Amino acid sequence: MKEYVLLLKKTNKPVSDLVNLIISRELEKQAKDIGVTIETSSYLHGSFDWMITFITEDIKQAKRFVEVFNRLYQSYVGEIFLLEEIFPVKTCGILNPHADRLKDFA
């Protein structure tokens, strides 16, 4: 399984409508149907408005998830960015015992 990060910049549409859609958990239900497990979903302050981290088999599945996301939230999406984790150095407070292999990616 591979880990991905989805970053969203929203449109100027009021957030109150978006909140109800997020609370409904419809995205999580549809993600599960296509083999995606959402690990984190966070409303943010800063350059981006929302961040989702998820795991799935490959980039093809990740792109399917982005399509599902766009379909559900199309009127709220200004920009969307999909990032693939290449090498985890530390996850959930646990240091990768092979962190020195990061040199192979540089």
Give CA–CA dist 5/83, Å, rounded: 5
Q: What is the pLDDT of residues 65-96, one digit of tens each?
A: 999 999 999 889 999 999 999 999 999 899 99
Query: What's the pTM?
Result: 0.89
Q: What is the mean pLDDT of the chain?
A: 93
**Other residues' Cβ atoms within 10 Å of the Cβ of residue 80:** 16
pLDDT value of position 15: 77
Six-digit token string for 58: 């490959």
pLDDT value of position 64: 97
Q: What is the pLDDT of residues 52-64, one digit of tens each?
A: 999 999 999 999 9
Is residue 16's pLDDT more than 90?
Answer: no
Domains parsed from the chain with CATH numbers: 2-105 (3.30.70.100)
